[in-house]
Amino acid sequence: PVAQALLAAAGRPVAAPSANRSGHVSPTTAAHVLADLDGRIDAVVDGGPTDVGVESTIVACLGSPPVLLRPGGVPRDAIEAVIGRPLAAATGEATIAPGMLASHYAPEAAMRLDATAAEPGEALLAFGPDVPPGAANVLNLSVAGDLAEAAANLFGHLRLLDASGVRRIAVMPIPPEGLGEAIRDRLARAAAPRDA
């Protein structure tokens, strides 16, 4: 509703690029946008925190079959139910959509995925009720193991852990189905080796 009201008030086309620096952890609140872009933008329209957390799903309909370029807020199975067939996986090196770079959405801290426990000096990005002991700094994406809640919390929790000054973040396993596919995609890109 906030974006639609802004478009109606503007009465002309509006360019809407991402509200963060390229490659950095995506913003999910107005405060995150200001943390990335303060001094580079004139204002932020604060419509509250995002509901979904992860970015949009991008599907290429340039041939047959349609190709899932970026998993996102609309899970693969929901799209496949509408189109009546499986989506193909993106292949090749071409970056034809946002969020396809191997290293993207990355905090400053290094990340270790599918961790069953935190190692000394690591913070823990947990998921579910069974959190292993030992980490001094723990944030849980969803104590209930709810993927929608985990997606909504993902980028905010990464930002909080990064701001705490930790050098490494251990991430507990996330199931790959539904929104878990998008969460795992963002985590894999955040953990990928970075160009110096």
Q: What is the mean pLDDT of residues 34-50?
A: 89
The pLDDT, as a whole number, for residue 118 is: 93
Full domain range(s) for residue 121: 110-191
Residue 68 belongs to a domain: no
Residue 16 belongs to a domain: no
Q: What is the mean pLDDT of residues 166-184?
A: 96
Taking the alpha carbons at both ends of the chain, their separation in whole angstroms is 41
Residue 35 belongs to a domain: no
Domain count, the chain: 1
Q: Which two tokens stand for residue 15?
A: 């360019």
- Compute the distance between CA of residue 165 and CA of residue 181 in angstroms, rounded to an integer: 28
**5-9, 62-66, 127-131, 183-187: the lowest-pLDDT one:** 62-66
Q: Residue 162: which CATH number? A: 3.40.50.11030
Contact 174, 120 (CB under 8 A): no
The pLDDT, as a whole number, for residue 195 is: 63
Residue 131 belongs to a domain: yes
Residue 122 belongs to a domain: yes
Classify burial at 139, counting beta carbons within 10 Å of its beta carbon; exposed 0-12, middle 13-18, buried 19 or more.
middle
Residue 155 belongs to a domain: yes
Q: Is 15 or 140 the better-scoring residue by pLDDT? A: 140
**Block residue for tokens 């906030």:** 2
The pLDDT, as a whole number, for residue 19 is: 83
* Pairing outcome for strands 110-112 and 168-171: parallel
Q: Give CA 86 to chain center in angstroms.
A: 23
Q: What is the mean pLDDT of residues 136-141?
A: 93
Residue 150: pLDDT over 60: yes
Contact 124, 131 (CB under 8 A): yes
**17-21, 103-107, 142-146, 155-159: the lowest-pLDDT one:** 103-107
Amino acid symbol at 74: V
Residue 9 belongs to a domain: no
Q: What is the mean pLDDT of residues 51-77?
A: 90
**37-41, 133-137, 146-150, 166-170: the lowest-pLDDT one:** 133-137
The pLDDT, as a whole number, for residue 105 is: 72
